[in-house]
Chains A and B, each alone.
Chain A
Amino acid sequence: MLWVDKYRPKTLDQVLVHKDTAQNLKKLVSEQDCPHLLFYGPSGSGKKTLIMALLRQMFGASAEKVKVETKTWKIDAGSRTIDLELTTLASTHHVELSPSDAGFQDRYIVQEIIKEMAKNRPIDTKGKKGFKVLVLNEVDKLSREAQHSLRRTMEKYSASCRLILCCNSSSRVTEAIRSRCLNVRINAPTEDQVRRSLLHFFHSSSIKIPILLIETVNNTILFLMGLNDSLQKIVKVLEFIGQKEGLQLPSGFASRIADKSNRSLRRAILSFETCRVQQYPFNINQTIPPMDWEEYVAEISSDIMREQSPKRLFQVRGKLYELLTNCIPPEVILKKLLSELLKKLDEELKHEVSHWAAYYEHRMRQGQKAIFHLEAFVAKFMSIYKGFLIATFG
């Protein structure tokens, strides 16, 4: 089992990072009238973990006995019938699904399938809860129509069903839905929290960590990043895992992983595990392997800084295709590319380049083919940079 799953907190009490939120949620479900919930926050911040723990709190251990089911639904849409395949994860008390999987047909999932599920009251009325729970993932990816369809369903069947919605960016969820839910913001653990979690892992295996070393390294990192008590939480989690695995963790190491993780706990733990496979015992200066696609994007960025020509553009196209065929989402590529470029650019160019990044990402969302817009951004950048070079150096 991956460490990420192995050390996922099972109950609300075990949650390390979002302690306050977890306690609040616990209070929330101890009453009968739990409202609909909307969890939002960046990826790797622990939304799913909290939801699973919450379900366990509501229904007891039986909420963990889930089975995966792929079912084909026949939907009658006026003149024709549509076959939709949908994978659900269900226990006796809850059903979890990602309605956005259906793409542009997601409206039918909401109108037919979710409504059908919401209508039916749970069979087991002996249980103390009179309702069942539908967990919907990635509601921000739902089309506008589908979100509209969800509105009234939420109210009409609120007697028999509670929705737990989960998304990354709540701006993309319509106001109407947000106003029907209790919004729970899950922030990314600060680097500090991560560091502490890592430390936690170590303590139980009674390994001596030179405290001074941790502090020094940590402070340097924090100073460099200009963050005060960030990263701590990520480190905390990593330390906890290390401890459980009986590993010897040099003190600054957790901090370095946390530092590289972009405040995503999942990523921190994954790269922690990678490091373990790569080299053990750990060395304080061991390289933490960056994600290979990130390296690739960094390469693209230095390519286009070095030469601005149609020939180079053609080469870059090949690389962009390579990334896309490996299922790296285009907006992630664009963001990474921007951040790589921003590291190297002059102050006056930063505004301009970031504007065009936003512009082309928006275009990408409206268009069909991501590669066009990625390439357009690269071409735009080349033209700007060339203009800058000519203006500066003649």
Chain B
Amino acid sequence: MAPVLQSSQPWVEKYRPRQVKDVAHQDEVVRVLTNTLETASCPHMLFYGPPGTGKTTTALAIAHQLFGPELYKSRVLELNASDDRGINVVRTKIKDFAAVAVGSAQRQVGYPCPPYKIIILDEADSMTEDAQACLSLLIRMDNFMNALRRTMETHSKVTRFFFICNYISRIIEPLASRCAKFRFKPLSEEVMCSRVMHICNKEGLNVDAEALSTLSSISQGDLRRAITYLQGAARLFGSSISSKDLISVSGVIPQEVTGALYAACKSGDFDLANKEVTNVIAEGYPVSQMLSQLFDMVLEADDISDEQKARICKSLATADKCLVDGADEYLQMLDVASNTTRALCNMPLEFSYES
């Protein structure tokens, strides 16, 4: 691929840490991996945590640092959800890659080049259970070979797996128990601010303190999102960015809109609530976002009882699940509005005419 102009890269790529020690906020992982770099020994790893906390970045950085650019291609296999990863691929592609022996003769100056290969499986929670079971078998075989290693002289058939996922619960137990697990925490506000400031300085942006704290609150610990918003705002509004600009880029719904819906529900008038819902849909606000903002609002409201809050939250949860299943936004929003209205006005929980 021809070299690309630096400027045409999204900032997320441009400022992706290239070394493990630059990864922000994940001290535990960084400590273990720095150790790995020195001793060149490394267990199978499982990185999990919310999006935008540096999982993929860390895995790629450690692979690069271990092998250097020359050996990287032959030693590291990176598979993500954009590749087909059904059980067939595990049986053929991954197994073949793992089976090829590594000669210890090839060495790169300045890199540890340990005598094993690395397979990075990004977004592992989207793999099927069958494929995961197959993988765990592969690891068992691999560990077995590892135990035999002393008797085998020059070549060793060993592979290290790095699994990356958002939800550890979606990784089958036999696989998870074979790995060292690392949780990636959402970034704290200070860390987020210092990374963002770093980028602002490099790009010559002028961001005040208020905008910074807005940015970290709307991105909720997701650094990638924060940087994407920052770049979006910088493109749209030039080099000095206020917190209002950031909000308009981020798709956060203005407080007035949520407030109007809540007030309509509170009035107890179904038609009024319906009108507000129609408006929200026509304005194109994402309903999932609306639900979470409504949730915040309900939690903070101090003039309603716990029972009312619980009723509203229950209907929010149901609607959220339905949205994930792909249900219609308008109908779900209307159902939430109707439930909220009934909760706020102490109407009975059960429907009266249901047979």
Interface of A with B (CB < 8 Å)?
A: 24, 27-28, 31-36, 40-42, 45, 77-79, 110-111, 115, 121, 125, 130-131, 144-145, 148-153, 155-156, 158-160, 169-172, 175-176, 178-183, 185-188, 226, 262-263, 331, 334-335, 338, 342, 347-352, 354-355, 357-359, 361-362, 365-366, 383-385, 387-388, 391
Contacts and interface: CB of A to CB of B under 8 A. Distances in A.
B284 A187 contact: yes
B288 interface: yes
A150 B126 CA distance: 12
B287 A169 contact: yes
B126 A148 contact: yes
Interface stretch (B139-147, B177-185, B274-282): B274-282
A361 B353 CA distance: 20
Given A152-B82, A183-B250, A365 B325 contact: yes
Interface stretch (B20-28, B63-71, B84-92): B84-92
Interface string B323-342: 10111111110110011011
B84 to A, nearest CB: 6
B328 A349 contact: no
A159 B8 contact: yes
A4 B308 CA distance: 48
- The 4 tightest CB contacts between A and B, nearest first, are A41-B284, A78-B88, A387-B353, A358-B335
Interface in B33-64: 51-52
B109 interface: no
A226 B272 CA distance: 10
B322 interface: yes
B10 A158 contact: yes
A129 B265 CA distance: 50
B186 to A, nearest CB: 13
A351 B351 contact: yes
Contact of A180 (B9, B228, B289): B228
Contacts of A188: 282-284
A185 B284 contact: yes
B284 A354 contact: no
B5 interface: yes
Contacts of A354: 274, 331, 334-335, 338
A149 B51 contact: no
A388 B81 CA distance: 52
A362 B325 contact: yes
Contacts of B342: 351
Interface of B: 1-2, 4-5, 7-13, 51-52, 80-84, 86, 88-89, 122-123, 126, 222, 224-225, 228, 231-232, 235-236, 249-251, 270-271, 274-275, 281-289, 319, 322-323, 325-332, 334-335, 338-339, 341-342, 347, 351-355
A169 B285 CA distance: 8
A242 B58 CA distance: 60
Given A27-B236, A169-B287, A111 B84 contact: yes
B86 A151 contact: no
A130 B80 contact: no
A317 B80 CA distance: 46
A150 B235 contact: no
B351 A352 contact: yes
**Most interface-central of B5, B81, B341 (chain A CB within 10 A):** B81
Nearest to A152: B80
A169 B329 contact: yes
Nearest to A150: B82
Chain B contact residues: helix, strand, loop or mixed: helix
**Most interface-central of B122, B235, B281 (chain A CB within 10 A):** B235
Chain A contact residues: helix, strand, loop or mixed: helix
A235 B282 CA distance: 16
Contacts of A385: 353
A135 B53 CA distance: 28
Contact of B323 (A150, A171, A178, A357): A171
Contact of B354 (A121, A153, A186, A387): A387
A361 B84 contact: no
A187 B285 CA distance: 8
Contact of B282 (A183, A263, A331, A349): A263
A179 B354 contact: no
Contacts of A342: 271, 274
B81 A148 contact: yes
A264 B220 CA distance: 34
Contacts of B12: 155, 180
Nearest to A27: B236
B105 to A, nearest CB: 32
Contacts of A183: 249-251
A3 B84 CA distance: 45
A366 B82 CA distance: 25
Contacts of B236: 24, 27-28
A183 B328 CA distance: 20
Contacts of A384: 351, 353-355
A151 B82 contact: yes
Nearest to A79: B88
